[in-house]
Amino acid sequence: MTGRLVGIHLARFASSSPRIGGLFRGVSTAGSNSIFSKQLKSSPSEVPSSRYMNLPLISLTKSYSSAQTTNAVFAPPSSLGVQTEGASKGHCDAVSDVRLDDGGKQLIMSWEGGQSQTFPYVWLRDNCRCSKCFHPVALARLTMAHDLDVDVTVASADKSPEGDDVIIHWDDGHESQFPSDWLAAYRFVDSQRDQILNPKYKLWGADIDLQSFEFGELLEDDRALHDWLAELVIRGIAVVKNTPSEVGQLHRLGGRVAFLRSCNYGPTFQVKSKVDPSNAAYTSGPLALHTDLAYYIRQPGIQMLHCIEQAECTGGENLFSDGFKVALDLKEVDPEAFRLLTTVQFEFFDVGTDHYGKFHQYSRHPTIELDELKEIASITISDHSRDPMLRVPPDQVQPVYRALSKYCKMLVEPQNLLKYKMEKGDITTFNNRRALHGRSAFQVTKASGRHLEGSYLEWDEVNSRLRVLAAELQSK
Ligand SMILES: [Fe+2]
Ligand SMILES: [Zn+2]
């Protein structure tokens, strides 16, 4: 997809404009780095990494066996599961000691390895997983915050005879029981980051070892599906090969995840261009790197572009650049430019008529969006749809433009720019808010038609499917 070009211009110029869409081919070579992972927390220093670093999803859910609850109520935070390194199935250290700090209204729990963690009473009471406090089937909290006694006190607390649970008797007679691994997963200090929401990204450049997956396997094999989605999370780009050459395949692939994300242009969009046989010198200009649908508040997470028919031409490679990697490079060489691009919002618009009738989209985003931990979360660049509105003092305008231009130049430096020319049957899939995409100029050499179908997925659905697949695959 070519963003707003495919968006607006696809709709407006379909089958007439040579400027739309790209022609892809080729394979990249090896290489990746892990600069981004340096932003992430290392394993907690005060707890054994073997126990907590890659908290096994299944061992937690199976480690608790009380008639009081179902296993599922102690489902842990998400994990990439089978993708994680060194996950230790079933490993469980025993509780050595449980102490009460009534002054601080907190429970101090020690493990046999000598480590200890602190859990406030009010949090433990709020998260009691007994069937009165937490519905064992709906997996929903039954106690309400407005009823919570924030000054709740504990009568007694102890470890279970086996040492793998903590049992709390509250002053009001209520009883709670928590698996020690579950408490470890939810510890307050140096708790493990969610491995899907905060993955260890692998950054890449022109020499990326671009991963490919077979369309047929993705439809049939859960392991392949998991690995493709994990690749989208971690590197943000992958190619699906040998897809049938007909419309509708993105619905099939998207259906393996959940559902496609629609937009003004419909659930999928078609990019068709017929080449005039009398115009063999037919050329099309380059398409600048961009992210799609910048004018949406909720921009699509993942883009898929299926090459149904390819034209014979020279040039026309699809271009990709890792926006996260280059943003970190920019932070290194020009911190002020990085600061400007993370704080100043550009505004974007799209107006027209398409699949659902008339539309007028308008939104604003910083070029480089940071999360609550000041780590890079997403990129938004779209020269095609960037609005004139720039809500900064006039004397900041030139520095802002300088920063944007510098970042865009760095994105296309040879070491950063991946060139990939799609073949018939390919679906390029990529993180729309990380892997910026564009197209080099091309010249058609033989009369032929070109047909691409594109669509989007949302991260919510991809992440959800990944968690489900990780649990199922790990249990096999
Ligand atoms: Fe695009
Ligand atoms: Zn309870």
Average pLDDT over residues 14-41: 28
Tell me the CA–centroid distance for residue 225 and ligand 1, in Å: 24
Tell me the CA–centroid distance for residue 475 and ligand 1, in Å: 39
Per-residue confidence (pLDDT) for residue 190, from 0 to 100: 79
Is the pLDDT assigned to residue 110 strictly greater than 70?
yes
Which ligand has the nearest atom to the CA of 7?
Answer: 1
Tell me the CA–centroid distance for residue 461 and ligand 1, in Å: 21
Token readout for 437 is 């995409």
Q: What is the 3-state secondary structure (H, E, C) of 268-284?
A: EEEEEEECCCCCCCCEE
Location of structure tokens 């899939």: 429
- What element of type H or E holds 385? none
Per-residue confidence (pLDDT) for residue 451, from 0 to 100: 86
Tell me the CA–centroid distance for residue 7 and ligand 1, in Å: 8
Is the pLDDT assigned to residue 97 strictly greater than 80?
yes
Which ligand has the nearest atom to the CA of 304?
Answer: 1
pTM: predicted TM-score of the whole model, two decimal places: 0.81
Q: How far is CA 385 from the centre of its chain?
A: 24
* pLDDT tens per residue across span 426-458: 999 999 999 999 988 877 777 667 789 999 999
Tell me the CA–centroid distance for residue 353 and ligand 2, in Å: 55
Identity of the residue numbered 411: L
Average pLDDT over residues 95-107: 95
Which ligand has the nearest atom to the CA of 66?
Answer: 2
Residue 451: closest CA among 241, 216, 247: 247
Three-class DSSP category at 470: helix
Per-residue confidence (pLDDT) for residue 283, from 0 to 100: 63
* pLDDT tens per residue across span 222-275: 999 999 999 999 999 999 999 999 999 999 999 999 999 999 999 999 987 766
Q: Percentage of residues in the chain with pLDDT exceeding 70?
A: 79
Identity of the residue numbered 240: V
The number of beta carbons lying within 10 Å of the beta carbon of residue 139 is 12
Burial of 326 (0-12, 13-18, 19+ CB in 10 A): buried
Tell me the CA–centroid distance for residue 134 and ligand 2, in Å: 7
Per-residue confidence (pLDDT) for residue 275, from 0 to 100: 63
Which ligand has the nearest atom to the CA of 125?
Answer: 2
- So where are the chain's domains? 3-37+197-475, 46-185
Residue 195: closest CA among 57, 66, 288, 336: 57
Q: Which of 29-38, 123-132, 319-328, 332-341 has the lowest mean pLDDT?
A: 29-38
Sign, CA dihedral 226-231-234-236, equals negative
Token readout for 270 is 């078609």
* pLDDT tens per residue across span 387-400: 999 999 999 999 99
The number of beta carbons lying within 10 Å of the beta carbon of residue 365 is 22
Q: Does domain 3-37+197-475 have CATH number 3.30.565.10?
A: no
Tell me the CA–centroid distance for residue 151 and ligand 2, in Å: 16
Split at pLDDT 50, 70, 90, the class of 278 is: low
Which ligand has the nearest atom to the CA of 177?
Answer: 2
The number of beta carbons lying within 10 Å of the beta carbon of residue 197 is 13
Name 109's bridge partners. Answer: 98, 117
Which ligand has the nearest atom to the CA of 126?
Answer: 2
Q: Are 451 and 308 in contact (CB under 8 A)?
A: yes
* pLDDT tens per residue across span 119-135: 999 999 999 999 999 99
Tell me the CA–centroid distance for residue 178 and ligand 2, in Å: 11
Token readout for 247 is 């419309």
Tell me the CA–centroid distance for residue 197 and ligand 2, in Å: 29
Residue 35 has, within 13 A of its CA and on its CB side, a CA count of 16
What kind of fold does domain 46-185 have according to CATH? Answer: NE0471 N-terminal domain-like (3.30.2020)
Name 140's bridge partners. Answer: 135
- Terminal CA-CA length for the chain: 38
The angle that helices 249-257 and 222-234 make with each other, rounded to 10 degrees, is 90
Is the pLDDT assigned to residue 153 strictly greater than 70?
yes
Average pLDDT over residues 332-361: 97
Tell me the CA–centroid distance for residue 133 and ligand 2, in Å: 4
Is the pLDDT assigned to residue 306 strictly greater than 80?
yes
Tell me the CA–centroid distance for residue 129 and ligand 2, in Å: 6
Which ligand has the nearest atom to the CA of 10?
Answer: 1
